[in-house]
Chain A
Amino acid sequence: MCGTCGCKPHDFYPKSATSRQIKLDISLLNQNQQQATHNRARFQQLRLPVVNLMSSPGSGKTRVLEATLPHLKSLKCAVIEGDLQTRRDAERIKKTGTPAVQINTGKGCHLDARSIDTALDQLDIASLQLLFIENVGNLVCPAAFDLGESLRVVVLAITEGEDKPLKYPDMFYDADVVLLNKMDLLPHLEVNLDDLYDNLKQIQPNAVVLPISAQTGEGIEGWIEWLTQATRKFTSA
């Protein structure tokens, strides 16, 4: 029945209108997946590793990038920044001497594959050797949207507590590495790291976990080593 005036569909259509059922079984993520597959093929052709950084808001993704990029001076890097509003993160990245493109999603809670395709137009992608994407701070929605990335990095600040992996399993299930950030604050917190590791293993038994502090630089070398190793298979023919 029509929601506006209460009329029924048969008031509109001639008596000869026939009703038909059509079976489809199509994923609603299909549209995004097709664009992500296209992005991935483009990155593979350029032998460009692409790292999708995800986390809650405020867990330190931008700070991790600021601590990481000075160690990668020998590589031509770029960063795509995703936020609802402001160009602040892109401005911070540019101060490290790295090109950055800001995507403002407005009210969108995640980046999707199409937004990455659009952002790539603003970068000299053919000259790049490593591309970082900093997703919108959110532990739910970004997990469902493939961007065509090579690696998924989840940043979890220890200030967020030990139970985040259990509460937001999708995000941690697909992570290639989990960076446990803000380790310098450990003496001031009640967080139980053994429980945090156990909770992560319940979701992803093979999870690689690297404790770091983007603020003090603790653990950053280990992270750079992991990143160099993990991106290698995407740069070779």
Chain B
Amino acid sequence: MHELSLVEALLDQLTSTAQAEDLQRITALTVSVGTLSHVSTEALRFCFEACQRGTVAESAVLTIESETGHARCPACQREAPAQDWLDCCPYCGQAGRQIIRGRDVRLKSIQGLH
């Protein structure tokens, strides 16, 4: 379950950002999960809630957004959304598209108290 590794990286990031921005507490945060990332949002939330105690984000509310993947067609070169790895090109029907976005998990924003 690599969600735990991601939450460890997330908490490191929250700690360093709180220090840099002189925040006493982080009260809310938004994380985006790409539709092609193979990260379980339920597992991500479970790990965050298990690990947030004792950190600068102890009482923070986590919002998880979904980021739609995008892929480029190797045949017609056009870009289009991809909800799934197996989605074919919506213009020409070609499979095996090149993924250009949607595999990542990103900390989008935080809300904090000075």
Contact = CB atoms under 8 A, between A and B. Distances in A.
Nearest to A31: B9
Interface stretch (A44-52, A77-85, A119-127, A139-147): A139-147
A234 interface: no
A109 B1 CA distance: 6
Interface string A12-35: 110001111111111111111000
B86 A28 contact: no
Contacts of B2: 109-110, 140-141, 144-145
B107 A2 contact: no
A173 B85 contact: yes
Q: Is the interface of A mostly helix, strand, loop or mixed?
A: mixed
Nearest to A144: B2
Given A202-B95, A203-B85, A31 B110 contact: no
A140 B38 contact: yes
Using C-beta atoms within 8 Å of the partner chain, give the interface range for chain A.
35 or more
A205 B96 contact: yes
A3 interface: yes
A201 interface: yes
A177 B24 CA distance: 49
Contact of B110 (A22, A28, A201): A22
Given A19-B112, A24-B108, A169-B86, A202 B96 contact: yes
A202 B107 CA distance: 31
Contacts of B99: 173
A1 interface: yes
Contacts, number: 115
B24 A24 contact: no
A13 B13 CA distance: 23
Contact of B108 (A25, A143, A144, A169): A25
A162 interface: no
A12 B106 CA distance: 30
A28 B9 contact: yes
Contacts of B106: 25-28
A166 interface: yes
A17 B111 CA distance: 13
A133 B64 CA distance: 34
B59 A9 contact: yes
A89 interface: no
A176 interface: no
A215 interface: no
Given A20-B111, A25-B109, 8 more contacts: A13-B113, A20-B21, A22-B109, A23-B108, A29-B105, A32-B5, A140-B2, A201-B96
